[in-house]
Amino acid sequence: MRKSLIALSVTAAILAGCGSDSKTPETVNTPPQSTDVAYDVAQSMDLSGQLEGSDAEGALSFSLVDPADVKLGTLTITNPSSGTFTYRSDAMEGTEVVRFKVSDGQYESISTLTINITGGDPLYAYQWHLKNNGQNAFAANRGVAGEDINVADAIASGVKGQGVVVAVVDDGVEISHPDLAPNIVPGGSYNLITGTVDPTPFSDGAAHGTAVSGIIAAAGWNGIGGRGVAPEAKVIGFNFLDSDPTGAVSSVQTFENFAKSHGASAYSDYARVFNQSYGYNVPFPHTFDEDENDVYGDIAQNSADGKGSIFVKSAGNGYNYYSWSGYYWLPGDYFDVSGDEKANHGLPFHNANMSTDNANVFNLVVSAVNAKGELSSYSSVGSNVFVTAPGGEYGDDDPAIVTTDRAGCDKGWTVTDDRPATPFAGGQHPLNLTCDYTSEMNGTSSAAPNTSGAVAMIMSANPSLSWRDVRYILASTATEIQPDIAPVEVPVGSGDSAVEYNAIPSWIKNAAGFHFHNFYGFGRVDVSAAVAAAKNYTQDLGSYIITDWQSHENLEKSIPDASVSGASDGIEIADDMVIEAVQIEVSADHLRLPDLAVELISPSGTRSVVMTPYNGMVYQGVMDPSDPTDYVPGFENTPMLSNAFYGESTKGTWTLKVIDVNSGDYSFILYPVQYVDIPNESQGVLKGWSIRFHGHKVASAS
């Protein structure tokens, strides 16, 4: 026992002599390890990935060796501690090789991330309307970066229009086109002339509906052509604007065919979006086609199990002039301006409210903007415009829209005969050797399908949305472009007594906080913002209400000649509703209608010019006054629509004002026939007007 104690004492002394109480052992730091990783990603899609690295002691940090290694897209390390990253590229194809390192603060290890980009669309890089980086889209001039409908985030998130059917009501659709065929509903289209399921136009030169369809839903990631706004939406086509070459069908545009193609038949009742890139201009006021209105109202409100459908409608291409009855109708000074001067006092010759189908609430009317983010030179405008979208210019000097054409160099717009006039047409450009695409699609005919594609994306992101929810989302998320745009003013009176009349106001902010402009409605469509809003939508719009017309008749109020005081009348509204649209009907005698401006002012003070002066209602210059069927005394229950009051209250006094801006000469051109003078009428008469509201009741407090 004593010996054991002595041995333990010696051991303890030896250990104490080694200094164990004053010095700790050194910590061993194992170098980190990293591993090469590889991923595949499609053009424009988001890749979420993981860099590989480990360390026995933990506490790693991931970073790029040289950020300049990333050449084809955007790579972001979202968590430096774990190595997660995101990547997106608009390149059609290619391989991104990026060096990354893992570090523990003392040692580091370097490996390679390889990203293979596959399945792109070669013409996507030229589709400025989807992503504008200042490309020229085969035109002489470039656009301005950022002036687009912002689809990138929506597409990258995986929303591509899935589950939504769009009806293209046009001159037909070439359903066999290789870039459209994947998204055509098999057997779902209808030829209104032959009764078959192939709506391909009869004329080889007819390509309008095919181009429209490509803007909406050209197939994505298939290695050919471009891409639609909603590249996985489905399309059905109707040749409502086609003609029968045999003459057996004298007119395709009957009410029966309208109903078949606009949702009131089994041929089209499963579509949720109807694209109408068509319209008409007439030089005299007219009233609604009530049969068509009934179809619009029923399908918009009651289809799709009560969620309703959206009718997208082009505003028109008549800002400068329009055609009707075999002639061009132009303002009298059209050929006299030069330099920066503008004809017609800078005002639209075709105000979109001149076409009564555009004054129908159930048509979502769209104006056009160009690649610079400004109103397209031709676009009709008005208080009935809901949003604007890319339409471009004509594709020679400034970019138009790149989209599908009829397949082959013997059909459509890009044909062999174009050689060598254009860089993209004619079958000689390496991206268009078979002439399947065009770089010259433009007009509000292009703005409408851009919007239809956007609507399909919104509905795809949230299939439970109603037609009114979609409109609310568009109004709430649209981009206010040209925020500092100046008003368009015209002089009223002469000499020192002349005053300026504000015929097209600058952007207004109404009492509900919505911004509005007669050029752009609520602004340019923003697809990604709209899709994000759709995914998180909580707005309750309540039950839809259309009020009865409330009227003041037999007013006989004088409209003084060339006076901004005008003739005014107010209607008191007792009900308190939230406005979604306002319609009026106006009756006023005046034998020179272009002299008149029509305003509507809300109880909150919001002023909307629903009919601009110097408009193209010039038929009075060629009418036969002795023929009662040809005589145009003025407005007669002429309908007009304004979206400027969206979200405001109906309650209070609504004021209509009719103003005569011109006591001087006035002429227009009936081209190519003659100049036509319309004598001045010194004093018109406001005979009466009516107003009705679309909206919902104010939500009660809980």
Q: Within a domain: residue 460?
A: yes
The per-residue DSSP string of 163-224 comes to T-EEEEESS---TT-TTTGGGBPTT--B-TTT-SS----SSTT--HHHHHHHHHHPPPSSSS
170 is catalytic: yes
Q: Within a domain: residue 378?
A: yes
Check: CB of residue 483 under 8 Å from CB of residue 507. yes
Tens-place pLDDT, residues 580-598: 999 999 999 999 999 999 9
Q: Are residues 129 and 262 in the same domain?
A: yes
Q: Give the domain extent around 643.
A: 540-697
Mean pLDDT of the chain: 94
Q: Are residues 265 and 362 in the same domain?
A: yes
Tens-place pLDDT, residues 371-403: 999 999 999 999 999 999 999 999 999 999 999
Tokens read off for 282: 């007439």
Q: Are residues 264 and 150 in the same domain?
A: yes
Q: Are residues 107 and 179 in the same domain?
A: no
pLDDT at position 666: 96
Q: Within a domain: residue 11?
A: no
Tens-place pLDDT, residues 142-177: 999 999 999 999 999 999 999 999 999 999 999 999
Which of 90, 118, 146 is at the close of a domain? 118
Which of 118, 142, 171 is at the close of a domain? 118
How many C-beta atoms surround the C-beta of residue 428 within 10 A? 16
Q: Within a domain: residue 498?
A: no
pLDDT at position 16: 38
Q: Are residues 308 and 444 in the same domain?
A: yes
Tens-place pLDDT, residues 556-570: 999 999 999 999 999
Q: Are residues 571 and 666 in the same domain?
A: yes
Q: Are residues 218 and 131 in the same domain?
A: yes
CA distances from 503 to 37, 86, 379, 592, 615 (A): 62, 50, 17, 17, 11
Cis peptide before 182 (omega within 30 of 0): no
Catalytic residue among 55, 121, 148, 170: 170
Q: Between helices 444-461 and 527-535, what is the axis angle to 10°?
A: 20
Q: Within a domain: residue 6?
A: no
Number of residues that this document lists for the chain: 702
Q: Between helices 527-535 and 467-477, what is the axis angle to 10°?
A: 130
445 is catalytic: yes
**Residue 3 in this model has a pLDDT that exceeds 70:** no
pLDDT at position 654: 98
pLDDT at position 17: 39
Whichever domain contains 50, its CATH number is 2.60.40.60
Q: Are residues 185 and 241 in the same domain?
A: yes
Q: Between helices 208-217 and 444-461, what is the axis angle to 10°?
A: 30
Whichever domain contains 202, its CATH number is 3.40.50.200
Check: CB of residue 598 under 8 Å from CB of residue 609. yes
Q: In the Cβ-directed half-sphere of 328, how many Cα atoms lie within 13 Å?
A: 11
Q: Are residues 114 and 128 in the same domain?
A: no
Q: Are residues 98 and 221 in the same domain?
A: no
Per-residue DSSP letter, 26: P
Q: SS3 helix, strand, coil % of the chain, rounded to 5?
A: 20, 30, 50
Tokens read off for 535: 């995914």
Q: Within a domain: residue 526?
A: no
DSSP-based three-state secondary structure for 33: strand
The per-residue DSSP string of 243-267 comes to --TTSSSS-S--HHHHHHHTTSSTT
Catalytic residue among 208, 515, 517, 590: 208
> What is the residue type of 427?
G
How many C-beta atoms surround the C-beta of residue 167 within 10 A? 32
How many C-beta atoms surround the C-beta of residue 660 within 10 A? 27
Cα separation, 318 vs 639, whole angstroms: 19
> What is the residue type of 473?
I
**φ and ψ at 166, to 5 degrees?**
-115, 125
More confident residue, 514 or 6: 514
**Region 426-430 average pLDDT:** 93
How many C-beta atoms surround the C-beta of residue 572 within 10 A? 10
Q: Are residues 170 and 142 in the same domain?
A: yes
Cα separation, 50 vs 677, whole angstroms: 74
Q: Within a domain: residue 675?
A: yes
Instruction: Report how many domains make up the chain.
Output: 3
Percent of the chain with pLDDT over 90: 90
Catalytic residue among 109, 243, 445, 608: 445
Query: What is the chain's Cα-based Rg?
Result: 32
Which of 118, 140, 157 is at the close of a domain? 118
**Region 395-413 average pLDDT:** 97
Whichever domain contains 560, its CATH number is 2.60.120.260
Q: Within a domain: residue 150?
A: yes
Q: Are residues 91 and 146 in the same domain?
A: no
Cα separation, 35 vs 477, whole angstroms: 44
